[in-house]
Chain A
Amino acid sequence: MKLYQPRLIFLGFILLGILFVALVRSTVDEYVLSIINFVGIYTILAVSLNITNGFTGLFSLGHPGFMAIGGYVTAILTFPVSRKSMFLELPQWIGNLEMSFLPALLLGGICAGLMALFIGLPVLRLRGHYLAVATMGFLIIVQVLITNWESVTRGPLGLNGLPALTNLWWVYPWVVITIYVSWRIKFSSYGRSMLSIREDEMAAQCVGINLFRTRVAALVIGAFFAGVAGGLWAHLITAITPTSFSLIMAFNIVVMVVVGGTGSISGAFIAAIICSVLTEIFRPLEENLDVYGIGEIFMALILILILVYRPQGLFGAGEPGFLSTKNRNE
């Protein structure tokens, strides 16, 4: 029976989450609710970047770029047809298309994933911080292209007045799906290939792992969830601009992964909650005391301290013992 225990605990957590969502939606005001939504989206981002960055060791700063692609695709697909023709010059078949949220989100994620495939095929030959620099270049290129492709994106103005479709009943299932997929990957043979690539590429290659294919897969899966998160994000704040998805955001997500412990799903999840809640606490402080930037300074300081004193992150690379009987080798 012991083997099934983690599964039951998981189910328990999911039910607890549902209870939490139901409770929160009936008690808390709009503002707190939107913060909880943001926290949820950040957990999707951190857990999905953890697949790319944590499991496989591909240090990608391109996550907000994939979010931007997913966000814009989803936004254009859900935009009411009547207003679409006013703002945008789209090809006829997209102009007359108005999708419901779920297919739009999925398509946004798929487009982000395809873009990851397209950019990953050449760029994933690079290693270490050269890959980081190349993905950062990708992020900046995406921003420039979105800013200038005015017929589809309205350029720097961005798309606003999007239908406010995102609520906790959308965010929460995606959090669960992201964690579930990520968990299944980590404890599958495919996930083991990813982890072994992170530890020692040469050894991984020697035991017959297809390095390139595994790395591309890690990037594409991470990008898919980033795209979905972008779509959720856009429909939460009901607007999307090219500057919404910046390098600062890439940095924040990386901080979450590093603070949580590179490769640890529960670490990424908890760190995402801590970091985004802290940021939200700092925001009113910044506005009231007129000390803009103090939140970022604080985050950066935390990161440096953790890199110096606890480089393995708060939770190491493993998962808590009660959740898994399979990772005793930590």
Chain B
Amino acid sequence: MSGGYIAQQIVNGFILGSMYALVAIGFSMIYGIIRLINFAHGDVVMIGAFLTLGLLQIIGAPFPLVAAVVLIAGALVGILIEKGAFRPMRGAPQVTGFIASLAVSIMLQNLGVLILTAQPRNFTFPEYLQKVLHIGHVSFRVVDLVIMLSALGLMCALLLLVNKTKLGMAMRATAENIDVARLMGININRTIMATFAVGSALAGIAGLMWGGKFGQIDPLLGFVPGLKSFVAAVIGGVGSIPGAIVGGYILGVSEVLFVGLLPPIYSAYRDAFVFSTLIVILLILPNGIFGKRSEERT
């Protein structure tokens, strides 16, 4: 096992981690603002992937345009989910929202099966994105580089949005205390809607990346990555955006290393590894790395 091999695995982990981080950010923002674990979030990834497939391969739109449309469509789907399912039951016990989000998730998956059939579809990016680059012993495709860089760019944009703009201030205030925020004249409904929109837009883009990375998509693709991104959010501390980013990279790298460094027979256990991590983290570090010790989870 050479140093080059390990470096390659770490780079692969970062690529996977970028996608986990983008999805985990949405989980964390939505949890932070209304204390809801939104399981339908993973299915926005699926919608983003299929939209990319449709625009890129059937219509043949140029790549940057596709990315913009996917971003906007993801935001719209998020707004729709919030308005349709979660707003009517705001104020209900936490678990109610959780069950509802499972219902939305199962609905989206089955709508996908109904409309698109469960058959996996091949997914190819344009030639220039498929070219393989070599740096030392590490090699990757242009698309991997695009994934990593654009994920970083989006994260910076998001941090700016949350920390420097008025909307971001409203989001932080609502997350801190929804009732006081309302008294301060913040439009709660609009703020929550914006949170869903931003989080889901990032998930939609993650879907585009997922398709580009793995080359095959089906209507159920969003579920397991969605759950794993949730694990990433828990590692970082649910509710914290930097936590979600760090958690995403930690989970991506450790999952790839788990598969890459252990003997091959263990690679079938990768999902078990991820979810055991979840249970262990919930038990020993329930607030994650960056989470505030503000509420009881245990």
Chain A nearest CB from B127 CB (Å) reads 36
Tell me, yes or no, whether A169 is within 8 Å of chain B by CB. Answer: no
Distance (Å) between the CB of B133 and the closest chain A CB? 35
The distance in angstroms between the C-alpha atoms of A249 and B92, with both chains bound, is 24
Given the interface pairs A137-B276, A292-B118, the reply to whether A128 lies near B94 with Cβ below 8 Å is: yes
Whether the Cβ atoms of B275 and A140 lie closer than 8 Å is yes
Chain A CB within 8 A of B243 CB? no
Residues of chain B with a CB closer than 8 A to A311's CB: 89, 92, 96
- Asked if B98 lies at the interface with its beta carbon under 8 angstroms from chain A, I say yes
Against A, the Cβ 8 Å flags (1 = close, 0 = not) of B101-120 are: 01110110111111001100
Chain B residues with CB below 8 A from A145, complex form: 269, 272
Stretch at the interface among B68-76, B181-189, B245-253, B279-287: B279-287
The range of chain A's interface size is 35 or more
A177 at the interface (CB under 8 A from B): no
| Distance of A137 Cα from B296 Cα, bound (Å) | 20
Known: A294-B110, A300-B107. A127 touches B297 (CB 8 A): yes
Query: Number of residue pairs across A and B with beta carbons under 8 Å?
Result: 120
Determine whether the beta carbon of B96 is less than 8 Å from that of A307. Answer: yes
A304, B269: Cα distance in complex, Å? 34
At the interface, yes or no: B167 with Cβ under 8 Å from chain A?
A: no
Encoded as 1 (CB less than 8 Å from any A CB) or 0, chain B from 79 to 103 comes to 0000001001100101110111011
Q: A292-B114, A311-B96 are in contact. Are A134 and B276 (CB under 8 A)?
A: no
Which of the segments A7-15, A118-126, A228-236 contacts the partner chain? A118-126
Instruction: Determine how close the nearest CB of chain A comes to the CB of B36; give it in whole angstroms.
Output: 8
Residue of B nearest to A295 (CB): B110
Residues of chain A within 8 A (CB-CB) of B85 are 304
Contact yes or no, B95 A128, CB < 8 A: yes
Does B272 lie within 8 Å of A59, measured CB to CB? no
Inter-chain pairs besides A251-B102, A300-B107, 5 sampled, C-beta below 8 Å: A126-B298, A129-B94, A294-B110, A299-B106, A307-B103
Q: Point out residues on A near B: beta carbons under 8 Å.
A: 59, 122-123, 125-130, 132-134, 136-138, 140-141, 144-145, 147-148, 248, 251, 254-255, 258, 291-294, 296-297, 299-301, 303-304, 307-308, 311
